[in-house]
Structure 1
Amino acid sequence: MRSDLAALARGVIGVGFTGTRGADAPLEELRAFAPGAVILFARNVGMLDDLRDLVASLRALAAPAPLITVDQEGGRVARLRDGVAPLPSAMAVGASGDPALAEGLGTLLGRDLARLGISVDFAPVADLALQPASLVIGTRAYGDDPQLVAAFAGAFARGLERGGVAAAVKHFPGHGATADDSHVGLPRIDASSATLRARDLVPFARAIAARDASIVMTAHVVVDAFDRERPATLSPAILRGLLREELGFNGVVSTDCMEMDAIANGVGTVRGAVQALAAGADLVMISHRLDLARAAVDAIAAAVEDGTLPRARLEEAHARVHALRARFAHLTPFDGELDPALPLEAAQRAVTAVRGDVRLHAGKPVTVISFEGSAVDNAAASGTAARAVEEPSLSSALRRRRWKSEVMRVPLEPDADELDLLLEHVPRLGDREFVVVTRNAHLHDAQRAAVARILALVPGALIVSARGPFDAACWPQARRVACLYGDQPLSFEGGADVLSGRVAATGALPVRLPEQAAVR
């Protein structure tokens, strides 16, 4: 009896591990565990041939193979760097105004993932970018308008599934109305039910009605209007009542990682696994520690034995996960024609001229003043391994277009001495273009003040908001402002094409900014 229950429990758990090749992964432990899914992070990604070997080894663990999953959204959340098309952020794609572009990008990425043997992409983000202070959602969202986000999230999900993998819309019923990060705490949303139905739920409802995605991933967020006591991941009212009964979703409901602090520091990962299943989740992600996954198996089996968790609920969850595994036991990557230049086109079309002419003056040398450094980004950093990499640079992208350009790197929060040194140097550089690359200056007082002082010296400097677009509201005196929606290499390449005049700036803001940032 207990062994039978344990097998069912293992089949509804997704696990993670350390190792970049089959030879250094804990394959015997994984084979003995027989998980329903395995998740890959950057810690699992080395050379491309090693990744192929690792995925093949994981797929050989059982028949049907466990779901091989990854968070590959594009922009700053991209676990894989080789073997798949690099994509700009969701917000960059939203700025293009073209859902067909999102579907094409999804198809391209889905095909590449399927070719690697990966069967599930935990994307797209269907949350709304409603909180400028949010570091966990931000540019991962397509925008702040429910209809826009619904159109783009649905299109990207359709593209992924057409490409050959299962898509997962996340984080239900919406993480975008709070600036708090569920990786490090338990966020709470106090909007009314009517507001949530007219706003946050719209992208999920549209994707579910259209059957765009095979999976819905839950949010570790308390949504007062639906359940004041429990985060959505643990809430029967939200998972059964809202998602299953009201919206009619009949696919796999996956949790976000149960080791995130919103769960781990509350009910706990192990108890949370039982409660998530009881609430209506099918796939419980325990993404880092196999010992916690094993403890969760014991807790699930014990809960069935003592009646806390109905056996029928566990069997239902297992059947849904198993059916998805069977569906992707043999992957069929899209075999039609796809344009490999589509990601760069998306990055180009994202560039938004918020104010003034953002093209550089031909023949003038350029100094890029780039605010850089470490910032808390738990979504991007989860499961990363330390690596030495050079920061992407707009200046380097301009030089590749034969533009004479140099870069001055400044901390995200420069101190007084660093700023004084910079301001002393700027007037000595003579007649040239100044491009100021900001990174979330709306959240960094010293950066915001530094840019204001640069503008006092060089009123015609071009401000380039390289992460969220909210920096565009910080300096109403700035004559020229552009938004890229990302500071990955692809975004800088697209930005350099626009700044150098190769293509026009055609992007439109997919979020509302304060009035002082209105286009003039």
Structure 2
Amino acid sequence: MGILTGLILACTLTSSDLTLSEKVGQLLMTSIYPDEPDDEPDPYLKAYTPGHLLIVGNGWYPEKEKELIKRHQSKAKIPYTIAQDLEWGLSQRLKNVPIFPKNRQLRLCPPSLVEAMGKEIARECRILGVTLNLSPVIDVVNNPNNVFLKDRSFGDDPDIVAQLGLAKMRGLSSGKVKSCAKHFPGHGGTELDSHFCLPVLKRSYKNLKELELIPFQTLINEGVECIMMAHIHLPLIDPRGQAASLSPYIIQDILRNEMGFKGLILTDDLLMSAIMNRLTYKDAALLAYKAGNDILLFTNYQPGGVHRVRDALRDAHEALMEAFEKGVFPIEELNRKVDKILQFKASMVSPAEDGELITSEALGLSELLISTFGSGDPVPK
């Protein structure tokens, strides 16, 4: 199926058009790799029909990524959301593309320039076929020992983080690419890395509202469509010892009810050790869904490679299927989530098939930002 044809189809689909297996698939995001064989269809993607694909890895040429996306979309019955972490642009992942400063370097940048940068990144995303940029990072990094975010955040001032995060979101949106604000409710006050353990943030809800939640509330008020949950534990808010990404109180009571967020909620990678040190693939999927997440992410940040990721996809799909078939989770709730996801996909714009990644305008913006704020360290050639 052509990409444009698939997106037109998505505009007309509702949950009633999907089988239960396909509905469960729309709750799942898994990773794909530009170096995967192009002549062998992935049996796991066919069997478990994930609705969303995350491109992982660094150092690829853009032509290879574009072909990868086109190949997967052409085989999809329901168009994929194609996601990628491009927090300061394509140079975070790809070779031979425009280079922009990292977010930390932009903390004193006028919002108008950050918005222009976001729009340019969106233009480049559309040429490749990326429809969801997993940014902006709007964690307020007020702990100097934070190792998780480093240069990924706009700094330690919540108002500046809010202004620049909003500018990035507006730029991506004006360039017709979806954005995902992260990592709710804020990873910047921690010291440890959730890739390897479950960090603890001893912050009250009152303290959160005065600091970490300011950027999130700003973007929610302006209509951000997707938010990613953090794998951090907040014992003063939810003492049950689980990550915020698995907390019904933090997701449903705070993010949904208190803050009024109505978009899609995405987990951070459920294969991170913050989750896997405690849970099986199946339990992680069930708890994440029960907590109120709309999309569950299983990607490859730990040893085990693609086989580990695909095993997790299989187990998550099977566990959720069984839960719906046995009435543990109501089908009506699943249908509402799937309809919201399909509406999100229906508003995606088809890729701009033509166009050059490196243009005089892109180079001019890159040179202006780098000369003023510093380089974003391109992927090695």
Instruction: Determine if the TM-score, normalized by the shorter chain, exceeds 0.5.
Output: yes
1:223 and 2:234 matched = yes
Is it true that 1:341 corresponds to 2:361 in the alignment?
Answer: no
Find the aligned partners of 1:77 and 1:258 in 2 and give their Cα distance.
26
**Deviation of 1:319 (Å):** 2.0
TM-score in terms of structure 1 length = 0.63
Is the contact between residue 122 and residue 171 of structure 2 (CA under 8 Å) also seen in structure 1?
A: yes
SS of aligned partner of 2:83 = strand
Match of 2:65 in 1: 51
- 1:308 aligns to 2:323 (yes or no): no
What whole-Å deviation, never above 9, does each CA across 1:147-170 have from its counterpart, x for those lacking one?
Answer: 000000111011111112100000
Aligned residue in 2 for 1:201: 213
In structure 1, the residue matched to 2:76 is: 62
Cα 1:25–1:227 change in 2 (3 A) is farther
Q: C-alpha distance in 1, partners of 2:39/2:353?
A: 28
Contact kept, 8 Å, 1:185 with 1:261, in 2: the verdict is yes
Task: Find the aligned partners of 2:370 and 2:324 in 1 and give their Cα distance.
Answer: 50
Answer whether contact 1:131 1:138 (CA < 8 A) is retained: no
Q: Distance in 1 between matches of 2:339 and 2:37?
A: 28
Is the partner of 1:148 in helix, strand or coil? helix
| Structure holding more strand per residue | 1
How many Å apart are 1:139 and its aligned residue?
A: 1.3
Deviates more, 1:10-19 or 1:33-42: 10-19
Q: Please give the secondary structure, in 2, of the residue aligned with 1:328.
A: coil
* Aligned partner (choices 22, 29, 38) of residue 53 of structure 2: 38
Q: 1:45-99, CA deviations, whole angstroms, 9 ceiling, x for partnerless residues?
A: 63332222111012123244110110011289822334x4322111111133x11
Q: Per chain length, whose mean CA-contact separation is higher, i.e. which structure has more relative contact order (CA < 8 Å, sep 6+)?
A: 2
For 1:188 and 1:77, locate their aligned partners in 2 and report how far apart those are by CA, in whole Å.
Answer: 32
Q: How does 1:28-427 map to 2 (within 5 A)?
A: 28-42=43-57, 46-74=60-88, 78-82=92-96, 84-96=97-109, 98-211=110-223, 213-229=224-240, 230-288=242-300, 289-328=309-348, 330-331=350-351, 338-350=361-373
Which residue of 1 is the match for residue 377 of structure 2? Answer: 488
> C-alpha displacement at 1:188, in angstroms?
1.1
Hey, what does 1:513 align to over in structure 2? none
Quote the Cα distance in structure 1 between the aligned partners of 2:26 and 2:89.
32
Aligned counterparts of 2:362 and 2:202: Cα–Cα separation in 1: 44
For 2:354 and 2:132, locate their aligned partners in 1 and report how far apart those are by CA, in whole Å. 15
Cα gap change, 1:184 to 1:175, in 2 (>3 Å): same
Give the aligned residue type for 2:171.
Answer: G
1:34–1:215 distance in 2 versus 1, CA, 3 Å = same
SS in 2 for 1:73: coil
Gaps in structure 2 of 5+ consecutive residues: 1-17, 301-308
The amino acid that maps onto 1:9 is V
| Aligned-residue offset at 1:5 | 3.0
Contact kept, 8 Å, 2:281 with 2:315, in 1: the verdict is no
Give, in whole Å, the separation in 1 of the partners of 2:41 and 2:185.
35
Amino acid of the residue matched to residue 311 of structure 1? I
C-alpha contact (below 8 Å) 1:170/1:219 kept by paired residues: yes
Partner of 2:12: none
Determine the structure 2 residue equivalent to 1:379: none
User: For 2:183, what is the secondary structure of its paired residue?
Assistant: strand
Q: Per the alignment, do residues 193 and 25 of structure 1 end up closer, same or farther by CA in structure 2, a change over 3 Å counting? A: farther
Asked if 1 retains the 8 angstrom alpha-carbon contact of 2:177 and 2:349, the reply is no
1:224 maps to amino acid: P
CA distance in 1 between partners of 2:363 and 2:229 (Å): 33
Q: 1:156 to 1:487 in 2, by over 3 A?
A: closer
1:361-416 Cα shifts (integer Å, max 9, x gaps):
xxxxxxxxxxxxxxxxxxxxxxxxxxxxxxxxxxxxxxxxxxxxxxxxxxxxxxxx
Q: Is the 8 A contact 1:17 1:26 kept in 2?
A: no
Percent of aligned positions that are identical: 28
Assess, with a 3 A threshold, how the Cα gap between structure 1 residues 11 and 75 changes in structure 2: closer, same or farther: closer
Which structure has the larger Rg? 1
Contact 2:169 2:179 in 1 (8 A): yes
- Report the CA distance between 1:340 and its aligned residue: 3.0
Measure the CA separation in 2 of the matches of 1:76 and 1:195: 35
TM superposition shift of 1:302: 1.5
Q: Is the 8 A contact 2:51 2:78 kept in 1?
A: no
Q: How far apart in 2 are the matches of 1:147 and 1:333?
A: 38
SS in 1 for 2:71: helix
**Deviation for aligned residue 1:349:** 2.0
Q: CA deviation at 1:222?
A: 1.1
Q: Secondary structure at the match of 2:100?
A: coil
Measured against aligned partners, the alpha-carbon deviations of 1:130-158 in whole angstroms (never above 9, x if no partner) come to 12112211211101011000000111011
Q: Deviation string for 1:85-144 (max 9, x for gaps)?
A: 322111111133x11111111000011001111101001101011121122112111010
Separation in 1, partners of 2:88, 2:376: 12
Q: Which amino acid aligns with 1:92?
A: Q
**AA aligned opposite 2:372:** R
For 1:338 and 1:76, the matched residues in 2 are separated by: 16
- Indicate the SS of the match to 1:142: coil
Deviations 1:458-514 (A, max 9, x none): xxxxxxxxxxxxxxxxxxxxxxxxxx5x67159xxxxxxxxxxxxxxxxxxxxxxxx
Q: CA deviation at 1:22?
A: 6.4
